[in-house]
Amino acid sequence: MRFAIIAAGNGSRLAAEGADLPKPMLSLGGMPMIERLAGIFLNCGAERVAVIVNPTQNETVGFMRALQTRMPLDLVVKETPGPMHSLLELAPFLDGEPFCATTVDTVFQQSGLEALLEHARTCGADGVMGVTSYADDEKPLYVDTDEGMMIRAFLDSRGDSRFVSAGVYCLPPVALDVLRSAVADGERRMRHFQRRLLEYGLELSAFDMGRVIDVDHLADLEEARRLIGDCR
């Protein structure tokens, strides 16, 4: 399985709240958030990690170029319209194998990812989406599942959904073809790509990762630090 980190956003909300570093560089677990996530992937069996970062964030670009001397990283430096287009930029490093992808501001325990990857290996579904019942996202994507945790729909409103997307995706190689089709048709949001996966006929299993924090605000960062036991 290949692994990817999407970190090409602007982090404008954090900057407006007074963050003195770009989002990927904010400290989590005693290191920059992006280094912690890459380390988790490597601990979970990644041979290499593909990463995309924003060229306007000089601190992040410089740090990642230096980190390449210590970690097996494939680095793309490019600004994109959003996470879906960022994933497309990383597709050349992911083609041909199942892959696991997430955004740099998705914070979870390593044990949660380990359990998700084991589920992906054994459940028999085409792909697995991490989900959580802790909806801290400003515009959560609700995930409707059947009794066996197979995904029936991705929804903008809760309805009868117990879960929201945790933003962690374990997908088969064909998902990149679906992604290319979505981008070619002018789609811009990750949730539109996820819906297309179902329309394509892929069977997707939801896996509850427990508490997952989406870091968009400084308060989220403090919550993420509490989640991983990063006492300050």
Report pLDDT digits (tens) over 107-119: 999 999 999 999 9
Report pLDDT digits (tens) over 97-107: 999 999 999 99
Q: pTM to 2 decimals?
A: 0.95
Mean pLDDT along residues 197-214:
96
169 pLDDT more than 90 = yes
Report pLDDT digits (tens) over 47-68: 999 999 999 999 999 999 999 9
The more confidently predicted of residues 172 and 188 is: 172
Biggest alpha carbon–alpha carbon distance for the chain: 48
15-19, 51-55, 163-167: lowest mean pLDDT where?
15-19
Amino acid at 121: R
The rounded distance, in Å, linking the Cα atoms of 201 and 20 is 44
231 pLDDT more than 60 = no
